[in-house]
Amino acid sequence: MTTDGTTEHVHGYTAEKSSHLKRLRRIEGQIRGLQRMVEEDKYCIDILTQVSAATKALQSFSLELLEEHLSHCVVEAAQRGGPEAEEKVREASDAIARLVRS
């Protein structure tokens, strides 16, 4: 949504925008918590546990975003058909590969 209120293109995740922002702020809080733990010389294993939690939270965020992308952008492109559909599938597949490998 542009600032002048016109809608150029509403992505799949727009409806969930505030829930996404809330999640990301929570993850930001986890990263700041990690900084505090390092500053206070907390035990390495406890820091690693927190890193795993933050990584999992990022992963859940990306899986949700991906599902919204598939159910909006990819489905709509498929309905319009043609090379754009193929392009969207390839693009989504590349993003999935990056997630699986990260």
Binding site for a second copy (CB under 8 A): 1, 9-14, 17, 20-21, 24-25, 27-28, 31-32, 34-35, 38-39, 41, 43-45, 47-49, 51-56, 58-59, 61-63, 65-71, 73-76, 78-79, 81, 85-86, 89-93, 95-102
Rounded to the nearest 10 degrees, what angle do helices 83-101 and 44-69 cross at? 170
Residue 56 and residue 76 in contact, taking contact as beta carbons nearer than 8 Å: no
CB of 19 to a second copy, least distance (A): 10
As a 3-state breakdown, the chain gives helix, strand, coil percent values, each rounded to 5, of: 80, 0, 20
Half-sphere exposure of residue 75: CA atoms within 13 angstroms, side-chain side: 9
CB of 87 to a second copy, least distance (A): 11
CB of 79 to a second copy, least distance (A): 6
DSSP state of 4: T
